[in-house]
Amino acid sequence: MSPQVFLKGEMIIKKHDVGKEMYFLSKGKVEVVSGDGRSRYGVIEEGSFFGELGVLFDIPRTASVRALQNCYCMRLTRTDLETAMQPFPFISERFRAVVAERMVEVQKKRSDRGGKGTLKRLDFVPNVGRVVEVAKEEEDAP
């Protein structure tokens, strides 16, 4: 992981770009917006992460992310993530499943709104602690 600073107004992720990294937001606040930046889908605050869909599923970015404040992030590349998860395949599989479920929820919310407007609250961030807990339960199950 490497530290990265983004200034207020800076575009961190651009819709349709290939996702090669994800970010852990240590300080600041970002907004998830449409490709043209006109529609807001949600706000992500410090302590959360974003950009995981492209990294986990090797798909183009589904939205853009812009800094609402000066932000301090830790950047995790796909290679770093794969290396870290290699010894823990059960966590990796569960993590991917939870993220996939979240993506379905996001698409449903967007569809329910006709793809327009903003969502009051959009949580792209699965509870990592819960993912690990469930993965351990599944591993310990007979």
- What is the residue extent of each domain of the chain? 2-140
Segment 68-88, tens digit of pLDDT: 999 999 999 988 888 888 888
- Third-level CATH fold of 2-140: Jelly Rolls (2.60.120)
pLDDT at 130: 41
Query: What is the rounded CA–CA span in Å between residue 32 and residue 34?
Result: 7
The pLDDT, as a whole number, for residue 112 is 67
Per the CB < 8 A criterion, the answer to whether 50 and 77 are in contact is: no
Q: What is the pLDDT of residue 88?
A: 83
Percent of the chain's residues with pLDDT above 70: 75
pLDDT, the chain, mean: 77
What is the spatial distance between Cα 46 and Cα 73, in angstroms, rounded to a whole number?
A: 9
Contacts of 59 (CB under 8 A, 6+ apart): 19, 53
Q: How confident is the model at residue 21 (pLDDT cuts 50, 70, 90)?
A: very high
